Amino acid sequence: MPTNTQTSPTAGIESSDKSSSSPRTTSNEDSWKSNRRTVENRTSSSSKSPYEHRTEKENANDLTLQTLEPIASTHSDRSSSASVSLTQSTSSQNISFKESALTWRSSLRRIVSVLNLAEREKTPSQKLQERKLREADMLLNRPAICRLPLKSMTSFCLSLSGCGFLGSYHFGAVSCMLKNGQHIISRLERVSGASAGSLVASLLLLKPDKIGLALEVLYALGDELNRLNFGALTPGYYLNERLIRIVDDFLPHDISPAQGRLYVSLTLRKERVNKLVCNFSSREHLIHCLMASCYIPMYSMGYGAQPPIIDGEEYIDGGYTNNLPDFEDIRTVTISPFSGNAEISPLDAERYFDWKMTVCNQTMNVNLQNIVRGAQALFPPSRAVLESYFEAGFKDAFNFLIKHDIVQRSSGTEV
């Protein structure tokens, strides 16, 4: 019968002690002691630097992170600053069109004032020399008949260029001729015009006594547009509708003085060909021709509007094809608020170069002054600036009369 044998709990230990002389047992003991020393060292060094018990690679990584931390913080600050700057820049770009237009206009005023100051600093001899050079160059591009002295002409023609709201210059030139050149006006056989020039030309032939009143209407119309956010481009505002009412109020019922004498420059929209109309079947026909000569697509009646139709043909602004009508069979005196080859026009200072370009049958100087004038023709400047254009037109016309020795004015007439 088998006997139950109880095993002592220390039997395994004793057996282990008995076998401690083997190499394997010695190795395990050394490993245990080594691990114990490592734990003791880590425990004892817990008060020391945390990098002492880590590998060199781990320590290097932590040091790198500590070094980059202030740089990253600086970069974050810069990113935040850049983000704020970008936000401010974006918000500054969201300026309304009206504020931008006001800033643009004030810049133009400063430019014009500087240019005017430079012009005033010139001596009379310098101005005279520049005028002679301009007149000699101007006659080279004109018909041969225009080189003949105006005083010897029994008849002549006035040609008024298209110029938008700078038509106040035309009013000034025409007013000067009516006051100081009565005998030369009596020889006036034709008056031609494009766009705004055609409106002034029609008044000169049909209602010369209403020129002063028409000038005030022009100033009021400019003030009206300046009160709008987008000027003539304001949605719901149609410039040609205003012009029709104005022209209808000024033109007389009898238009016979304009027959064969008033030449209105028109542009056939499809063919882009110019047409000078001088015979009008009725008063309404004349008004339609004047409105067509002033019609600028998208500007006059908004986007998508149909151009004026006359005798089944669509017409647009005559300035597109012939902005300064000229004739070879009659002595023509040209008037324009843009400096160039017009006989009565501003004399701009050309300090560095004298470039010219011919656009729509009109030769103009390529300079900053004409660029400013082009902008002001569509987006009217202040009333004071428009009044200065009237005075400039009056002065330039008076100088023209003096040059040709045809000044004739009553005693006490304002110059």
Q: Is 17 a catalytic residue?
A: no
Q: Is 223 a catalytic residue?
A: no
Handedness of CA 219, 222, 228, 233 (dihedral sign): positive
Among the options 195, 198, 336, 339, which is catalytic? 195
- Is 192 within 8 Å of 277 (Cβ atoms)? no
Q: Which one-letter DSSP state was computed for residue 157?
A: E
Whole-number Cα distances in Å, 230 to 101, 151, 238, 243, 294:
9, 47, 12, 18, 19
Residue 193, helix vs strand vs coil: strand
How many Å apart are CA 162 and CA 201, to the nearest integer? 11
How many Å apart are CA 289 and CA 308, to the nearest integer? 9
Amino acid of residue 10: T
Counting other chains too, the contacts that 299-308 makes at CB distance below 8 Å and 24 or more residues apart are 299/232, 299/233, 299/239, 299/378, 300/232, 300/238, 300/239, 300/240, 301/238, 301/239, 301/240, 301/241, 302/235, 302/238, 305/238, 307/269
Among the options 317, 326, 348, 396, which is catalytic? 317
- Is 348 within 8 Å of 335 (Cβ atoms)? no
Amino acid of residue 84: V
Kindly give the pairing relationship between strand 313-317 and strand 362-365: unpaired
- Is 323 within 8 Å of 361 (Cβ atoms)? yes
- Is 205 within 8 Å of 157 (Cβ atoms)? no
Name 384's Cβ contacts closer than 8 Å, sequence gap at least 6.
none
Q: Which residues are catalytic?
A: 195, 317
